[in-house]
Structure 1
Amino acid sequence: MRAALEEKYGSRVEVSEAFGQITAEVAPDDWQALAEFARNDLGCVFFDWLTGVDEPPEGFAVVAHVYDPARHRHLLLRTRVPYTAATLPTLTGLYRGADWHERETFEMFGVEFEGHPHLVPLLLPDGFEGHPLRKDFVLASRVAKPWPGAKEPGESGHGSPSRRKTLPPGVPADWARPAIKPTAESATESATETTADPAAETSVENGDERG
């Protein structure tokens, strides 16, 4: 399989092997032709899956796994597209199973597949904005809800005060919400309310003053 790929594409393909599985990486212009060669010439007639990988700052990697059931051989097809031109030709004309996988990759990463018969969202609800598997997609709920992760020094209240509140992973610094950050005055008031003696307050209310 490796020799056939290198003979067909020469320097236009980068072939590697790991754990008994071959990966063939080509430029986007050769993406569809590589899949056709894998199916017609290498016997990889079974389409398993296709997905994207966000690899900043270069762009997206798109990877598909196909299989030769006659000789039990696996092949990974791989290409890369920049953020500014995240477009590939569809593989649905070669593998019908690529249909839903390309739709999912489109909605999760924003990679468009030209020629796809019905490139619409597959899993996300109507009206959802953005592509949630991109690394620049901010999970706003991480800011709106208390972060349950380990506390930084000073955040537990038992160490030296930290310089700023640590944000959850993946949340830009400008997403901090000053309105919900406790101030020194509010912290003092909260501590006073917490440490007040309920029994003493009850005695005063009942007129029981102690010397």
Structure 2
Amino acid sequence: MATWTQEVLDLARVIGGDRARLREEFGRPTLTVPSGWWRSSIVALRDRAHLTYFDWLSAVDEAGAPSPDPADASLAGGMRVVCHLAGLSPGVARTHLRHLVVETWIPRDALVVDSLATVYAGAAWHERETHEMFGIGFDSAGPLEALLLPDAFEGHPLRKEFVLASRVVKPWPGAKEPGESDADVASPSRRRTRPPGVPEPEQWGPRERGSDAPDPLAHATTPSGPARPRRARRAVPPKEPPGDGGTDG
């Protein structure tokens, strides 16, 4: 592990203890910190690790995923808040750009984390979008007003339990568009089914807690299996023995 990334890990562990972890992912170092030390860790990285550039912040719905921390089972199936920071290497030249992805996990029933709006200029816009799409709250961020969605929109479209209308109305696995099929070739019609996790068409959309409607999140927390049972192999009738080719008379 490079010297700079080890310094980053040591700095994070001073704040968050042994629960701070560093790994290499997609060619970039990724630092995981406890949610209670989210903001303080980011401030330390900005001031002491020279990560003065804020790139983006978003979230990932980890429904069905195990907890990343064996000591905290409440994080299983929660959400991951992620941000990307960058900074020039210290010194006279300052020509090398360093990148770091910082993330924290929060429980699904307590989707709140400290805001970075006063740490980096522009973070408030990303937090508003993340709040809209995932329903995550950001403490001390001020009013999280709608940014992309209409004011009357209900639900959070990037959560896995939110059923998209396009998945409901599209046949599954989907028929060909008009004009694409060959009308002259006879073929058996496919049995139309709803996509996994999609309830009846009249029930799609935001689902209230405790509702009796089918849970769209269930497919993410149960072992995957075939969408339909495999068809039995068609029995091939035995071939009749060829005739002797003779003629009567």
Q: Same fold (TM over 0.5)?
A: yes
> Does the Cα contact within 8 Å between 1:60 and 1:80 map onto a contact in 2?
yes
Equivalent residues in 2 for 1:105-124, closer than 5 Å:
105-124=130-149
The residue number in structure 2 matching 1:68 is 87
The residue number in structure 1 matching 2:198 is 171
- Residue by residue over 1:44-95, the C-alpha shift from the partner in whole angstroms, topping out at 9 and shown as x without a partner, is 1000000010011311111000001343000001001111000000001110
1: CA distance between counterparts of 2:24 and 2:144?
Answer: 33
- 1:147 maps to 2:171: yes
CA shift for structure 1 position 111: 0.4
Aligned partner of residue 41 in structure 2, secondary structure: helix
CA shift for structure 1 position 5: 2.7
Structure 2: runs of 5+ lacking an equivalent: 65-76, 89-93, 176-185, 203-249
CA shift for structure 1 position 141: 4.4
Aligned partner of residue 37 in structure 2, secondary structure: helix
Aligned partner of residue 134 in structure 1, secondary structure: coil
> Does the Cα contact within 8 Å between 1:103 and 1:121 map onto a contact in 2?
yes
Q: Which has the higher helix share?
A: 1
Aligned partner of residue 109 in structure 2, secondary structure: helix
1: CA distance between counterparts of 2:195 and 2:144?
Answer: 33
- Residue by residue over 1:101-155, the C-alpha shift from the partner in whole angstroms, topping out at 9 and shown as x without a partner, is 0000000000000000231111001100000000100123443x3437445xxxx
Structure 1: runs of 5+ lacking an equivalent: 152-156, 178-211
Please tell me the residue identity of whatever aligns with 1:18.
E
CA shift for structure 1 position 158: 4.1
- 1:81 maps to 2:84: no
- CA pair 170-123 structure 1, distance change in 2 beyond 3 A: farther
The residue number in structure 1 matching 2:18 is 11
The residue number in structure 2 matching 1:51 is 58
RMSD between superposed Cα atoms in Å: 2.4
1: CA distance between counterparts of 2:194 and 2:154?
Answer: 23
The residue number in structure 2 matching 1:159 is 188
Matched-pair identity in %: 41
1: CA distance between counterparts of 2:101 and 2:155?
Answer: 28
1: CA distance between counterparts of 2:136 and 2:6?
Answer: 31
Equivalent residues in 2 for 1:82-97, closer than 5 Å:
82-97=107-122
> Does the Cα contact within 8 Å between 1:139 and 1:170 map onto a contact in 2?
no
The residue number in structure 2 matching 1:28 is 35
- 1:2 maps to 2:5: yes
The normalised TM-score by structure 2 is 0.61
2: CA distance between counterparts of 1:101 and 1:160?
Answer: 46
- Where does structure 1 differ by over 6 angstroms across 4 or more consecutive aligned residues? none
2: CA distance between counterparts of 1:45 and 1:89?
Answer: 19
